[in-house]
Amino acid sequence: MTVKSVTVIGLGPMGQAMAAAYLDRGYEVTVWNRTPGKADGLVARGAHRADTVEAAFKANDLVVLSLTDYTAVYAILEQAPGALAGRTVANLTSDTPDRAREAAEWLAARGAVQITGGVQVPPPGIGTPDAMTYYSGPEKAIETHRTALEVLTGIDYLGEDPGLAALYYQIGMDMFWTGLVGFLHGQALAQANGISAREFLPNAVKTMDFRYFLEFYAPRIDAGNHEGDVDNLTMGAASLEHVLHTAQAAGVDGSLPAAVLDLFRRGIAAGHGQDSLTSLTKVLKG
């Protein structure tokens, strides 16, 4: 019987969840973390604590990295120059596509292979059936380690370019942060008017169910069709002015709707007043 084994480096909330998922599935798990105490709970459950990064790398062919960013990745990899060759590094650390590509080259120069991953779920989602991770990098390495990677999440393989997974992840984060802050701004406006977040929740859920709009607009964006047959920037700007004034009247910071209004006004100034809000993609690309 093959012993299933893996190393996990980085025991923040995400790395903890990953190491725990491997233990749950009967893997031999070696862990290392800059602050060693964070491994205590996992060690109590049977994980092996590596005393050095080098020992953590030497313990297994597959090394999962779950760190804050690639600055942390290099801070760790540079501690194990002699132990990288021959390893596959599943780098599930978020950062920019360029940094992911650089790290893949950096590792290749030292005889290691990087699989880049962008995890699409929070730590409690690790090991659950619908969880997915964007992966890119050498398909052969992903296939070799498919079983171990699938302990964590499903695999959404995007291609050989090691930057692709990071790119998809960042596009998703762009939508996530800006969309979610829109939700928070609306809830601040509700609260400032004595309406609780929970009271407004059913309305928020309906308003933020963008699926219809996303599916309607995506083919038009691809086709460069910004026809203003269902909406236009002039109408949108008038609506945003009402939002801004309502926020200001309630003493709520208006910088978010003001920034969106500014974008709409730039679109109008560029001649898109009667075009759909999808014409903003042209303004955004400059």
What residues line the site for ligand NDP (CB under 6 A)? 10-15, 33-35, 38, 66-68, 72, 75-76, 93-94, 119, 122-123
Would you call 131 exposed, middle or buried from its count of C-beta atoms within 10 A (0-12, 13-18, 19+)? middle
Question: Is-contact 2 60, C-beta < 8 A?
Answer: no
Q: How far is the CB of 237 from ligand NDP (least distance, A)?
A: 35
Over its C-alpha atoms, the chain yields an Rg (Å, rounded) of 23
In this structure, the strands spanning 5-9 and 28-32 are parallel
List the Cα angle 281/116/107 in 5-degree steps.
Answer: 125
Q: How far is the CB of 17 from ligand NDP (least distance, A)?
A: 8
Give the nearer residue to ligand NDP in terms of CB position, either 95 or 275. 95
Q: How far is the CB of 58 from ligand NDP (least distance, A)?
A: 18
List the Cα angle 3/135/105 in 5-degree steps.
Answer: 90
Q: How far is the CB of 35 from ligand NDP (least distance, A)?
A: 3
> CA–CA separation, 56 vs 161, rounded Å?
27
Give the nearer residue to ligand NDP in terms of CB position, either 119 or 148. 119
Of all residues in the shown chain, the one whose CB is closest to ligand NDP is 12
Give the nearer residue to ligand NDP in terms of CB position, either 11 or 152. 11
Give the nearer residue to ligand NDP in terms of CB position, either 88 or 93. 93
Residue indicated by tokens 């909330």: 13
Give the nearer residue to ligand NDP in terms of CB position, either 123 or 154. 123
**CA 98 remoteness from chain centre:** 15
Q: How far is the CB of 263 from ligand NDP (least distance, A)?
A: 27
Q: How far is the CB of 101 from ligand NDP (least distance, A)?
A: 16
Give the nearer residue to ligand NDP in terms of CB position, either 84 or 277. 84
The H-or-E segment that residue 209 falls in is none
